[in-house]
Amino acid sequence: MTQDAQDRLARLFRRTFGRAPARIAALGADGSKRRYYRMADGEQTVLGAANDDRRENVAFLSLSRHFRRHGLPVPEIFAEDLDQGVYLQQDLGDETLFNRVAAVRAEEGTFSDRLAAIYRRVLDDLPRFQIVAAKDLDFSICYPRSRFDAQSIRWDLNYFKYHFLKLVPVDFDEQALENDFERLTAFLLEADTRYFLYRDFQSRNIMLLDGRPHYIDYQGGRQGALQYDVASLLQDGKADIPWEIRDELLDYYVETACEYAPIRRETFLAHYYGYALVRLMQALGAYGYRGLYEGKSHFLTSISHGVRNQEGLLARADLPVNLPELDRAWSRIVDDPALRRMGEDSGEGLTVHLWSFSYHLGLPRDPSGNGGGFVFDCRIVKNPGRIPEYAALTGKDAPVAAFLDELEEAQSFLGDAKTMVDRAVGHHQRRGFSDLTVAFGCTGGQHRSVYFAERLAEHLAGRQGIVVELRHREQEDA
């Protein structure tokens, strides 16, 4: 699949520039099905994109050309082949606004005036996307919907319900919650929705090139309210803008947008906090899906940022709509200490979470929320459980341990596991990471997996700066 995409892009590059690319380097995936490649031939560098979703490609390419006609700083499109699912666009470099925020904070220890000035420049551009460019935009090309309508809002709210609320220890009355969703949706759609809604207007989608913000990833944009995008930018959890600066930047945006459209500040702000909460709930749903369901540990830190964001929003929001069950759910989230700390380094050294388990009962869930690590399949080693005298024993019993101690394939397997875990332990300690999960699985979770977990625990025991937590899942309920 990857090589095929590179071949399609190389052919498009040759047709466009009359020569083959000298280098093609894959860039990191962005969480979508799109794949990006940096392509160079000695004279210039471009980005190649490969995506089999034709409608999404049409939306991005059409919006890119429309915005450039309005003088907005988005990537130039050099060539496209919709039948092949590839296109070439301007390379805007690697520095995002998020990277700049992190670098300046590390240098100055604060969210400085330098950063606030960049955000004000971004907020100068935002109304031009939303208001000016929307006046002659054909919204029928938008993907996957032409409007951020009631169904779009419900998709975001249900994402929050199914991928966050149902995965964390927050009780709620589902019917009462659905009733609140209906009321909140109706309230949000009272806002003026004639504008362009960028949809993912946040610091990772703003590139800094030659000191000027440039904008990417607007292919999900559609017609909608102004409030959503400015909320996306200012409530961006990991950018962690101080609240007093968020408030100042919000006022700056309202003043700027008023130059392009008649906006009543009080009405705008009433709907702003509603859209900000919807955007935050959608983000928590994404963090929950990626972190709690898919087990991608770096998304778990975003949950704690999101919870703190929610706390700040709730302190400011005074929504003129009754949402009793949502209010209760929000309060429970904010008051949950585990959610507030999820994915964060405890500062107490490295904890290695060791598991044994049965594949028949599924993989164990990482209790730390950010461990990452290894799952070793012990089923390639001879099973002592099939030997009658060992069948009723476990890997903690001396006869089973002695059998596996003498089995060459078991010792080779254990040696390989030790080598890999030792390397990860060293890396995690150097980087100051707090957790590493290592799981051994076998058929029944009684013999091989237990033995290897026990032996690795012995191997790690007593090391400075390491705490070993050993659990044999299939024996805990025995």
Q: What is the mean pLDDT of residues 247-254?
A: 97
pLDDT at 263: 94
Q: Which helix (H) or strand (E) holds 131?
A: none
| Mean pLDDT score, 354-379 | 83
Residue 456 near residue 418 (C-beta atoms within 8 A): yes
Q: Are residues 270 and 189 in the same domain?
A: yes
Q: Which residues contact 199 (CB under 8 A, 6 or more apart)?
A: 148, 218, 220, 221, 222, 228, 229, 232
pLDDT at 393 over 80: yes
Do 162 and 309 share a domain, yes or no? yes
H/E element, 286:
helix 265-287
Higher pLDDT, 29 or 295: 295
β partners of residue 375: 439
> Mean pLDDT, to the nearest integer, of 101-108?
88
Contact present, 90 and 78 (Cβ < 8 Å): yes
Structural domain of residue 406, as residue ranges?
350-475
| Low-confidence winner among 241-255, 270-284, 339-353 (lowest mean pLDDT) | 339-353
pLDDT reading at 345 higher than 80: no
pLDDT of residue 462: 77
Are 271 and 217 members of one domain? yes
Same domain flag for 224 and 305: yes
Kindly state the helix (H) or strand (E) to which residue 429 belongs, with its residue range.
helix 408-431
Distance CA 301, CA 303 (A): 5
Same domain, 262 and 401: no
Distance, in Å, from the CA atom of 14 to the CA atom of 93, rounded to the nearest integer, reads 22
Q: Is residue 30's pLDDT more than 60? A: no
CA angle 82, 50, 294 (to 5 degrees): 130
Q: What is the three-class DSSP state of 10? A: helix
CA distance 57 to 80: 9
CA distance 45 to 61: 19
Confidence at residue 23, expressed as pLDDT on a 0 to 100 scale: 92
Task: Please report the DSSP string for 195-208 in residue order.
Answer: EEE-S--SGGGEEE
* 318 and 388 assigned to the same domain: no
Per-residue confidence (pLDDT) for residue 55, from 0 to 100: 96
Residue with tokens 């959890």: 237
Say what the pLDDT of residue 158 is. Answer: 97
When mean pLDDT is compared across 163-172, 323-332, 337-346, the lowest value belongs to 337-346
Structure confidence at residue 240 (pLDDT): 85
Output DSSP code: residue 461: T
Q: Which residue has the tokens 């995002």?
A: 96
CA distance 254 to 266: 10
Q: Is 294 helix (H, G, I), strand (E, B) or coil?
A: coil
pLDDT the model gives residue 1: 47
This prediction's pTM = 0.72
- The tokens for 225 are 């309210």
**Domain edge (last residue) among 341, 368, 391:** 341
Which of 54-63, 108-117, 358-367 has the least mean pLDDT?
358-367
Both 454 and 315 in a single domain?
Answer: no
Give the residue-averaged pLDDT of 176-192. Answer: 98
Tokens in use for 214? 């440039």
CB 414 within 8 A of CB 457: no
Q: Judge whether residue 454 has pLDDT over 60.
A: yes
pLDDT at 369: 58
134 has pLDDT over 80: yes
Provide the 10 A C-beta neighbour count for residue 150.
13
Instruction: Look at residue 431 in the predicted model and tell me its pLDDT.
Output: 66
Residue 436 and residue 373 in contact, taking contact as beta carbons nearer than 8 Å: yes
Q: What is the mean pLDDT of residues 268-280?
A: 95
Shared domain for 212 and 315, answered yes or no, is yes
Tens digit of each residue's pLDDT (9 = 90 or more) over 420-452: 999 898 888 766 678 899 999 999 999 999 999
What number is the average pLDDT over the span 42-60? 94
Q: What is the CATH number of the domain that holds 208?
A: 3.90.1200.10
Burial class (CB within 10 angstroms; exposed 0-12, middle 13-18, buried 19+) of 337: exposed
> For residue 389, what is the enclosing H or E element?
none
Residue finishing a domain among 289, 318, 341: 341
pLDDT per residue over 113-128, tens digit each? 999 999 999 999 999 9
**Better-scored residue on pLDDT, 365 or 419:** 419
Phi, psi at 256, each rounded to 5°? -70, -45
126 with 190, same domain: the answer is yes
Rounded CA separation 475/271 (Å): 53
Is residue 256 pLDDT above 60, yes or no? yes
Q: What is the mean pLDDT of residues 370-387?
A: 89
Average pLDDT over every residue of 267-292? 93
- pLDDT, greater one: 326 or 290: 326
More confident residue, 108 or 158: 158
Local confidence band at 379 (pLDDT 50, 70, 90 cut-offs): very high
* Burial environment of residue 394 by CB neighbours within 10 A (0 to 12, 13 to 18, 19 or more): buried
The stretch 250-276 carries a mean pLDDT of 95
Task: Judge if 73 and 139 occupy the same domain.
Answer: no
Give the chain's domain count: 3
> How many CA within 13 A on the CB side of residue 56?
14
Higher-pLDDT residue of 167 and 90 is 90
Residue 222 above 70 pLDDT? yes
Q: How confident is the model at residue 32 (pLDDT cuts 50, 70, 90)?
A: low
Res 463: pLDDT? 80
User: Is 180 in the same domain as 39?
Assistant: no
138 shares a domain with 31: no
Using the 8-state DSSP alphabet, how is residue 130 labeled?
I
The residue count of the chain comes to: 478
Whether residue 62 contacts residue 77, with contact meaning beta carbons closer than 8 Å, is answered with: no
Residue that is last in its domain, among 45, 64, 90: 90
Rounded distance between C-alpha atoms, residue 34 and residue 54, angstroms = 11
